[in-house]
Structure 1
Amino acid sequence: MEQIRTYFEQSVTMSDRDWQLFSSKLERQKFSRKDHLITAGKKENYLSFIEKGSVRFYIAGEDDFTFSFSFAGEFVSAYDSFLTQKNCSYYIQALEETVLWRISYQDLNIIYDETEVGDRIGRLAGEGLYLDIFKREISLLTKTAEERYLALFSERPHILKYIPLKYIASYIGITPQALSRIRRKIS
């Protein structure tokens, strides 16, 4: 739980009172590898902080389309569903044993109303989620598949330990066979 306070205090100072109220609303939850945090057709009710583990965001189909990852020390949520309180159109799945600290939509709104820094906390979490998505979108539009692959591993070198190559290929917008060719070329 202290990881969350450290994360926020990089940008905002929280009083002990605000932290006590915020932390009292957090629930710790464990997910096993391949468990879903949320499935398509369900409403996202949580904004979560990953204490340990990693997750992928994907759209199910003949070949699942992985479009995002989140790792320890980051927030995770089907944030569009969380904000609108409408059903989600994709899945979030644990890639390994994952431990989350979660706050519900209702409790986060209490934090917004009853603390001095509540709005800022929500904004910081939302901005982080938005920036990750925007960065990927720009990458897909401006970089080659090889550049996207290299950038992914320069930013997150530990990713190969946890994420199957088929998910990485999908994330960077190519087939697993094309990823194999890129990996052979740069080896």
Structure 2
Amino acid sequence: MKKLRSYLETIVEVDDADWNYFSSRLIKREFSKKNIFLNVGDIENYISFIEKGGVRLFIPKADEEKEITFGFCLQGEFVSAYDSFLTQTPTLYQLETLMDTTLWSISYADLQDVYRTTKIGNTIGRFTAEKLFLIKSKREQSLLNDTAEQRYMNLFEERPNIIKQIPLKYIASYIGVTPQALSRIRKRIS
């Protein structure tokens, strides 16, 4: 939980009273590798901070090779099916751990309470929403404007931990190519 407080304090000064109120509502959740902890049709009830591990966001398909990975969240980042969380409606995608993962989660109801009660709640909420929006917007623009090789290089430069920790088949899906095409891209670059 110390990592979460340190992260929040990069956004805003967190006094002990607000931290105690907020942290008393956190739930520690631990998942083993390859655990789908949110399925299509479920309503996302949590926004979570990844203390350790990693998660992929993907659209499942009958043929596993055709699944579409559209997001990764690693240690020190927040993860949620955020659109489902905000609207409290069923999600159209799944969240799966890529390694043993520990999350500190807050429920939708508890987060609304933190927003109403603490001085920092709204600031943290706005910052998190803005950051998630910017990541999504940047990815969409990259898919529309960049070549697959540029998308891979951007990922390599901006989020090198993904390249080190995530299986290549998921990275290929994320940048919109087949694993074979990614292999050719990696060969050309090296």
Q: TM-score, normalised by structure 2?
A: 0.95
Moved over 3 A (4+): none
SS state at 1:158 partner: helix
Shift of 1:41: 0.4
Question: Is 2:75 aligned against 1:66?
Answer: no
Question: Is 2:187 aligned against 1:184?
Answer: yes
Task: Give per-residue Cα distances to partners, 1:5-56, cap 9 Å, x unaligned.
Answer: 2112112112211110000000111111110121100000000000001110
- The 5 Å alignment of 1:4-23 reads 4-23=4-23
**Does structure 2 retain, via aligned residues, the 8 Å contact 1:76–1:129?**
no
Matched letter for residue 169 of structure 1: A
Identity percentage over the alignment?
A: 55
SS state at 1:20 partner: helix
Matched letter for residue 50 of structure 2: I
Question: Which consecutive residues of structure 1, in runs of 5 or more, have no partner in the other structure?
Answer: none
Distance (whole Å) between structure 1 residues aligned to residue 60 and residue 106 of structure 2: 26
Give the one of 122, 128, 134 matched to 2:137. 134
Count of paired positions: 187
Give the one of 112, 125, 128 matched to 2:128. 125
**Does structure 1 retain, via aligned residues, the 8 Å contact 2:11–2:124?**
no
Question: Which consecutive residues of structure 2, in runs of 5 or more, have no partner in the other structure?
Answer: none
- The 5 Å alignment of 1:84-103 reads 84-103=87-106
Distance (whole Å) between structure 2 residues aligned to residue 113 and residue 33 of structure 1: 36
